[in-house]
Structure 1
């Protein structure tokens, strides 16, 4: 008997997705808000606006495979990114220091800015798509311009870091249908990584990088109490209200990315201070100099004499009970941030 081996070949064909009535498709336009090193008035409630504008239309297609759509407006939906809670007045909380509001331009006969998020905003226009053609091409202006407004939640010191953040996506639909909106993003607004600077600044340890060397450590038994390192700090604040002799209450925090096993501890990596190879069972635990709790990203009051103050912390490696950390170098990076009242 002769046995033959065979290879079963399966060819997968890519088919265009079936359109639903009223669906609008357009190549996604992404607008990057470049804050750069813009100044902002460092007072609670102060606002700073940034605008984007395509200065023209962009092409898109409305589909009508089931029935004619005659003289209907285009409806829009705008969705805010998850993790941006509403704080009223159209604003959402971006971080501890800043709120933001996004107003998107709606064209047609509406010709107005509408604050995101929204679900069924009509452009008050009259557009037609015939079933016999199946689709109609239009030039879109809605979503091609808008305004992002930042508002100060509480006074900032040294500026505030804003990481890349996708904040809004907008979708469209021709006429009213029961199918709602599709997943084709027409317009996307992204805040690019930047720093907003303010006059008030606090310089810690003369502006020198604070480095803590732990040396050789065992792979187990790291409970956050042994192998401690004490780090004293001093700081001087100047600029803005500090130069006016105002008496201010200063709070400091150690800001950074937490471990997977506790939000209170700073995570570690294997591939440098900016690396992404996270060591899941090793973190850095902090204490105040008197041994009391110092949680990552929490604020703690500090004492000052005039514009000068002292602070510090105790750092120690920590891992979950019973964990065995593989041999090798590890790194951790955090930032000491300040706020005042």
Structure 2
């Protein structure tokens, strides 16, 4: 989990050439460092998504979808703040497919029905619990997948805007 906010305000009154010709330019920086995570996901507990038994035919990234229940809670100071999230993980055979430990099988994520790119921020609705985030297994083309168990892991990051 990760949450922080550092607003930076930079005032530029003229272009670089004009500043050079007219004398030195002044920059004003202002910010705040938050020393603890003001938001938590799922009370800090691991989120488990069991797919149980799946078939290659249904592993098309659409037919089998599991809802990911997210409980994002922020301290009172940040309860009305705009939040964004990203899913961090190793991409597999496509940029938006999370790698599993089984060759030619990955996990694709959807936010309210639209595909989610890994390592890309997206805005959370208010309240964050109204977000419909799903995960779906997807096979890489027509390659024959071996039978057996599979696992994958990703990290969810929340950022205060």
TM-score of the pair, normalised by structure 1: 0.36
Mark the runs of 5 or more structure 2 residues left unpaired by the alignment.
Answer: 9-30
| Alignment RMSD | 2.7
Secondary structure of the structure 2 residue equivalent to 1:304? coil
CA distance in 1, matches of 2:74, 2:123: 15
Deviations 1:243-278 (A, max 9, x none): 3x685321011111110x101111101xxxxxxxxx
Equivalent pair of 1:219/1:326 in contact (CA under 8 Å): no
Matched, 1:338 2:158: yes
User: What is residue 103 of structure 2 aligned with on the other side?
Assistant: 280
Contact 2:73 2:79 in 1 (8 A): no
Give the CA deviation at 1:208.
Answer: 2.1
Q: 1:328 and 2:148 equivalent?
A: yes
Structure 1 stretches of at least 4 aligned residues deviating more than 3 Å after TM superposition? 154-157
SS at match of 1:233: coil
User: How far apart in 2 are the matches of 1:250 and 1:42?
Assistant: 10
Query: What's the counterpart of residue 19 of structure 1?
Result: none
Q: Which of the residues 242, 249, 252 maps onto 2:82?
A: 249
2:95 corresponds to: 263
Greater share of residues in helix = 2
> What aligned pairs does 1:194-213 form with structure 2 within 5 A after superposition?
198-213=35-50
Deviation of the 1:324 alpha carbon: 1.4
Alpha-carbon deviation of 1:155?
8.7
- Report deviation, 1:301: 0.7
**1:298 aligned to 2:131?**
no
Once the two structures are superposed, residues 22-80 of structure 1 have per-residue CA deviations (whole angstroms, 9 ceiling, x without a partner) of xxxxxxxxxxxxxxxxxxx96357xxxxxxxxxxxxxxxxxxxxxxxxxxxxxxxxxxx
**Corresponding residue of 1:230:** 67
The structure with the largest strand share of the pair is 1
Which has the bigger relative contact order, CA under 8 A and spacing at least 6?
2
Summarize deviations over 1:191-225 as a string: whole Å, max 9, x none.
xxxxxxx3233111222211011111123452101
The alignment covers a number of residue pairs equal to 135
Is the 8 Å Cα contact of residues 156 and 340 (structure 1) preserved in structure 2? Answer: no
